[in-house]
Amino acid sequence: MTAATTTMSFLAREQTPAPAADATGAAAARSRADEEARRLAAAVARGDEAAFRQLYDAYQARLFRFALVLGRGDEWLAHETVQSVFLTAAAKLRSVAGEDHLWNWLARVARQHLAKHWRQQGRESAMISVADPPNTAETGQSEARLEESLDAALLELDPEDRRLIERFYLDGRSQKEVAGELNLTPKAVSSRLERARARLRALVAKRLAHET
């Protein structure tokens, strides 16, 4: 699933209550996700490299999108933030209660890194005045709105630019791989990426300026 589709909603086909079996299945899926989050956190705390790679693969794209929004479209800062989060996780992540707890922990570290960056730059950001935020439903809703801002900005890009951004930043392709997929030279991909991320940065900044 790419970032460009994560916030698209669809009308329900029938206005009827969901079967009890669906609710049971959702609860079971949530239980499995929570169990996996607990397993991953405990394994990472023991220094398990395979578990760390699983953690990275599971949360890298989401953290990048989150940091890109909080960083107002600065993709370099987003990459730096993601790397800082996983370095911190390798050193300090311990037990978690479940998947939500694990994500909140990772997101909090990201916000702390960004807040430190703004302080070092002599700047302040109203969006990152949460050095140690509570794990509340309100916090989760705010984070969801931030991610939706990036999704909406992605949808405003030209389709070719959007696919380029998704392949390189969200799917983790290298410039060489993207060049091969699009039948372009790596230099051409680099130039297009520069233009696309500049456009995305402007769209994100404009959208966030309207929301704050």
Closest-CA residue to 110 (of 150, 65, 155, 154)? 65
Tens of pLDDT, residue by residue over 171-189, are: 667 788 888 888 888 888 8
User: Could you give the angle at the alpha carbon of 92 between the alpha carbons of 91 and 95, nearest 5°?
Assistant: 130
Burial class, 107, CB count within 10 angstroms (exposed 0-12 / middle 13-18 / buried 19+): buried
Q: Is the pLDDT of residue 170 over 50?
A: yes
157 close to 165: Cβ distance less than 8 angstroms: yes
User: Given CA atoms 64, 39, 53, 81 in this order, what sign does their dihedral have?
Assistant: positive
pLDDT tier, 17 (very low <50, low <70, confident <90, very high otherwise): low
Digit-coded pLDDT (tens) for 192-211: 888 887 787 777 777 766 66
pLDDT at 59: 92
Query: Which of 38-42, 60-64, 116-120, 144-148 is least confident?
Result: 144-148
